[in-house]
A and B are shown apart, each in its own frame.
Chain A
């Protein structure tokens, strides 16, 4: 089992609220990623980071923002949640070596009412 953690696991929140999804890993990986996954659909990359103070947007446009102040921590923030943000959010990390396998956290299921 990979040492990558996400909190909360489930979140139901009202429209307009600010939320932060937490992701942390204890493997010392430099690379970290955020994916969005809707039921029955493929994962879409929304943010990634190659190290501290490095963040980039992924292929899927997202209104969320991320920060990477510490190697082990990669939180995702939504300033004003909307029903369209309802989805599963998966965090992953990799060591950037060789085939660079990604290890995924358990995910956060977000529902915006």
Chain B
């Protein structure tokens, strides 16, 4: 069973609307949580990286939150644009052996005009 679960699996939103993606994880211990954006046919690109002591981090219209007590994170997209259509991947990193990143399967977001 994957230790990083994302929901929903996919969603469709209208341009200009907001949406929130969820990430629940069981990885323990962990030192950081990352959100990546992956366009179709491309490699993932980092959006935010939060350490376990951070609660929120923003990158433009993207805002990530982290609740280390409940092991939940969310990614909020504000005023969506067509270019936001992509897969958004939640990744949990342990304190040591950074190569052992735990990846979620991603949420596919489609923004329609």
Residues on A facing B (Cβ under 8 Å) = 2, 4, 6, 31, 33, 40-45, 48, 58-59, 90-92, 94, 96, 99-107, 109
Contacts A33-B99, A42-B103, A42-B104 given; does A109 touch B41 at CB 8 Å: yes
Smallest beta-carbon distance A101→chain B, Å: 6
Of chain B, the residue at the smallest CB distance from A41 is B105
Give Cα distance in the complex from A94 to B101, angstroms: 13
Residues on B facing A (Cβ under 8 Å) = 2, 4, 9, 31-32, 34, 36, 41-46, 49, 51, 89, 93, 98-101, 103-106, 108
Of chain B, the residue at the smallest CB distance from A50 is B99
Give Cα distance in the complex from A101 to B45, angstroms: 10
**Residue contact A99 to B32, C-beta cutoff 8 Å:** yes
Between A and B, 28 residue pairs with Cβ closer than 8 Å are A31-B99, A40-B105, A40-B106, A40-B108, A41-B105, A42-B2, A42-B89, A43-B44, A43-B103, A44-B103, A45-B101, A58-B99, A90-B43, A90-B44, A91-B43, A92-B43, A99-B32, A99-B93, A101-B46, A102-B101, A103-B46, A104-B36, A104-B44, A105-B43, A106-B41, A106-B42, A107-B41, A107-B43
